[in-house]
Structure 1
Amino acid sequence: MNGTRDGPSSEHSRIGNSPLTRAAVLAAALEIIDHSGVERLSMRRLGKALGRDPMALYRHAVNKAAVLDGVAETVLGQLTVDSSDPDWQHQLRLIARDFRRIAVDHPNVVPLLVTHPLATPLGLRPIGTLRPLERILSLLTRSDFTGSDALHIYRALFGFLYGHVLTELQEIVERPEEPTDLLRLGLHRLPIGEFPLLRGLASDLAAYDGVEELERGLDILLTGLAENVPPPPTAPPPAAITANGDRK
């Protein structure tokens, strides 16, 4: 065996000999969550992954809840929002695609992004998780929406996105080796004579495509928002006055 190859112990040793930072703590926590889920994260396990005494971690996060908040901030920090985009619908579509990508890349973090914040008052949430909201509000108010309408659009968009990613990540095929979609999805277990429409849609259910479903949903959502929450019309520029006092 090649003795120079890095294994887990050498990796831990290398981390243990380097300065411990909040970024390193959160990166290790995210890796544990990605591989094992939120429930398997503990300060003891995090300390082991970093090659440090767990007590050393408390200088960077006061408890596990603070680590989870930091992980949510880290992941949402990957969400790109260009508040200067003059085409608000185009920008919201890019944001939606980006959010879905983040959710698919880190499915075990989704509860921290979707359900966990609902138990925390807005002003007490981690600052980093509020920045996308502020930037989207800036995008929309720059497009002449009122603050109230901008908030309505944000809520409609993320309400849709939360539902979409939860649906996509929970689409489960029971027995992929079965010859028909009805059997693959376990719909044959439903009472005979009931749910005829659901049974009839077995092929559509089995062919679920998260990217396509997202785009179709965005088409419906953004078209509806543009029609029902239009920005106020831009006032025409004042007419120029000529030297003799006439308006052009």
Structure 2
Amino acid sequence: MTERTGTARRDPLSRERVLRAAVALADEAGVASLSMRKLAQALGVVPMALYKHVSNKEELLDGMVDVVVGEIDPPVHGTDWKSAVRQRILSARQTFLRHPWASQVITSRTHPTPVLLAYLDSMIGAFRAGGFSADLTHHVMHAMGSRLLGFSQELFDDSAPSGPEGRAEMPPEMAAAYPHIAEMATAVAHDETSVVGQGCDDQAEFEFALDLLLDGCDRLRQSKWTSTGP
């Protein structure tokens, strides 16, 4: 007896399917527009079916964070600690650029999710394996902050004038009052698409800061720095 193939079978609903559909919706329209109703429509189910896999919107967001962090490349073995850490952070950066809403969700969480904890644990392990003391690693993790996940909280937004025209765009009285800002605005590389701010090359600025931090951390490691030292 032959099996009927005329009717397509719908994939069974699962937690992973729910979370990946939610990530896709957030990628498309932003996380603010995500609702359980819209997610159910996208999956072709009634909203109540979702609650068998996520108990509420907050658990959904936690799961979405884990999906995104899970896309970061695994640790690279057989290389020095600095290269391994740098490569992983730049992989995280590309991941969060693919999902620009995710950094906002992570910073809104009251507790880190399991996959995020595993990622941070592995990064701590990379520093420890590289010869960092537990004491120094503790301070390094604070100094790195969100850069461990490939994004940073910047001091300035995109309101500053930029490029060679920057001084001309800034009102003369402001340029006179803040000459160093006006000078810097005319010196920076121009990148209108930057999320750091107009006039900043996003990737270059991120890698510049990352390399400064890693080099500084390495000097402290080599000097056997401790928080209780003189």
TM range (shorter): 0.7 to 0.9
- In the alignment, structure 1 residue 27 sits paired with structure 2 residue 20: yes
- Aligned to 1:144, what secondary structure does the other structure show? coil
Report the alpha carbon displacement of residue 72 of structure 1 after superposing the two structures with TM: 0.4
Paired with 1:175 and 1:194, the residues of 2 have a C-alpha distance of 15
Is the 1:143–1:231 Cα contact (8 Å) retained in structure 2?
no
TM-score between both structures, scaled by the size of structure 2:
0.76
CA deviations over 1:36-67 (Å, ceiling 9, x no partner): 22221111111011111010001110001011
Report the alpha carbon displacement of residue 71 of structure 1 after superposing the two structures with TM: 0.6
Q: 1:181 to 1:104 in 2, by over 3 A?
A: farther
Q: Which amino acid aligns with 1:210?
A: D
Report the alpha carbon displacement of residue 83 of structure 1 after superposing the two structures with TM: 6.5
Q: Which amino acid aligns with 2:121?
A: E
Report the alpha carbon displacement of residue 90 of structure 1 after superposing the two structures with TM: 0.7
Q: Which amino acid aligns with 1:48?
A: Q
Report the alpha carbon displacement of residue 200 of structure 1 after superposing the two structures with TM: 2.3
* Misfit runs of 4+, over 6 Å: 173-176
- In the alignment, structure 1 residue 63 sits paired with structure 2 residue 59: no
Matches for 1:22-171 after TM superposition, within 5 Å: 22-82=15-75, 84-113=77-106, 115-117=107-109, 119-120=110-111, 125-160=112-147, 164-167=151-154
Q: Which amino acid aligns with 1:136?
A: M
Structure of greater Rg: 1
Paired with 2:105 and 2:15, the residues of 1 have a C-alpha distance of 18
- In the alignment, structure 1 residue 193 sits paired with structure 2 residue 185: no
Q: Which amino acid aligns with 2:67?
A: T
- In the alignment, structure 1 residue 230 sits paired with structure 2 residue 222: yes
CA RMSD of aligned residues (A): 3.2
Paired with 1:161 and 1:197, the residues of 2 have a C-alpha distance of 31
Paired with 1:162 and 1:194, the residues of 2 have a C-alpha distance of 37
Paired with 1:159 and 1:30, the residues of 2 have a C-alpha distance of 21
Report the alpha carbon displacement of residue 73 of structure 1 after superposing the two structures with TM: 0.4
Question: Structure 1: where are the runs of 5+ without partners?
Answer: 1-13, 233-248
Is the 1:28–1:49 Cα contact (8 Å) retained in structure 2?
yes
* Count of residues paired in the alignment: 208
Paired with 1:188 and 1:23, the residues of 2 have a C-alpha distance of 53
Q: Which residue is equivalent to 2:203?
A: 211
Deviation larger for 76-85 or 46-55: 76-85
Is the 2:31–2:101 Cα contact (8 Å) retained in structure 1?
yes
Q: Which amino acid aligns with 2:126?
A: L
Report the alpha carbon displacement of residue 107 of structure 1 after superposing the two structures with TM: 1.0
Q: Which amino acid aligns with 1:148?
A: D
Higher helix share: 1
Q: Which amino acid aligns with 2:165?
A: T
